[in-house]
């Protein structure tokens, strides 16, 4: 699987090296998080963000060429959290049965982690409406698939014919979709959705 580099409009214009610059970047992203939580992505303006972060507008543009780059930075925080969490949780798996059980637990963990995050859904919705951000999300799915496949492949029985990469990619993609649907449902329906998806994982993920 190849990974395309994101468009330059989404890149940080400069990567902070000094502590003061690192703190300023964190300050901007915290302000962006607060504004997106309050009013959504569509109403986020660079001037409002600079005022909220208490930085000159010029300093804001030193880091971010446009609003999409800020959304990318918030998106990256979420995806990095998922990827590092997957590596941590699955790294010690010793059998397919254990892997399967942990995949079910991961569905619940994903839901409980991001259900109360006020910017997860707004940022994700913004990402799917922008072609460059869509590629970043696809790249995240590719990386997560690779992480899990590298862990699961040695556990498969000798001579296994399953298409592990495709199955894990579908697990990654569909788990995101299922969890986002559960997030907008009431608690009872959310649990029904998640439990049904976990039953599907159990029945299919490593079946020969």
Full DSSP string of 4-59:
PPPPGGGS-SS---SHHHHHHHHHHHHHHHHHHHHH-STT--HHHHHHHHT--HHH
For residues 10-23, average pLDDT: 80
Has residue 33 got a pLDDT over 50? Answer: yes
For residues 148-160, give the mean pLDDT: 96
pTM, rounded to two decimals: 0.86
Q: Are 111 and 194 in contact (CB under 8 A)?
A: yes
Is the pLDDT score of 147 beyond 50? yes
Q: How many residues does the chain have?
A: 208
Give pLDDT, residue 7: 58
Burial (0-12, 13-18, 19+ Cβ within 10 Å), 178: buried
Q: What token pair was written down for 28? A: 């901007």
Rg (CA), the chain: 19
Q: Is the pLDDT of residue 117 over 70?
A: yes
Tokens read off for 201: 């994982």
> Which tokens in the block code for residue 184?
């907008």
- Mean pLDDT score across all residues of the chain: 92
Q: What is the pLDDT of residue 127?
A: 87
For residue 9, what pLDDT band results from cuts at 50, 70 and 90?
confident
The answer to whether 165 and 24 are in contact (CB under 8 A) is: no
pLDDT of 5 > 60? The answer is no
> What mean pLDDT comes out for the span 41-56?
95
């Amino acid at each position: 699987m190849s990974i395309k580099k994101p468009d330059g409009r989404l890149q940080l214009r400069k990567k902070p090296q000094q502590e003061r610059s690192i703190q300023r970047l964190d300050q901007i992203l915290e302000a962006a998080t607060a504004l997106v939580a309050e009013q959504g992505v569509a109403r986020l303006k660079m001037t409002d963000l600079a005022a909220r972060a208490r930085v000159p507008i010029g300093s804001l543009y030193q880091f971010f060429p446009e609003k999409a780059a800020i959304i990318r930075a918030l998106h990256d925080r979420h995806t990095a959290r998922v990827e590092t969490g997957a590596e941590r949780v699955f790294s010690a798996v010793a059998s397919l049965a254990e892997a399967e059980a942990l995949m079910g637990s991961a569905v619940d963990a994903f839901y409980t982690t991001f259900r109360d995050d006020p910017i997860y859904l707004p940022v994700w919705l913004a990402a799917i409406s922008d072609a460059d951000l869509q590629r970043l999300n696809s790249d995240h799915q590719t990386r997560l698939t690779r992480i899990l496949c590298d862990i699961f492949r040695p556990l498969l029985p000798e001579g296994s014919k399953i298409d592990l990469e495709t199955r894990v990619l579908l697990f990654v993609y569909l788990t995101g979709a299922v969890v986002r649907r559960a997030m907008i449902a009431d608690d009872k329906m959310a649990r029904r959705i998640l439990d049904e998806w976990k039953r599907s994982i159990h029945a299919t993920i490593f079946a020969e």
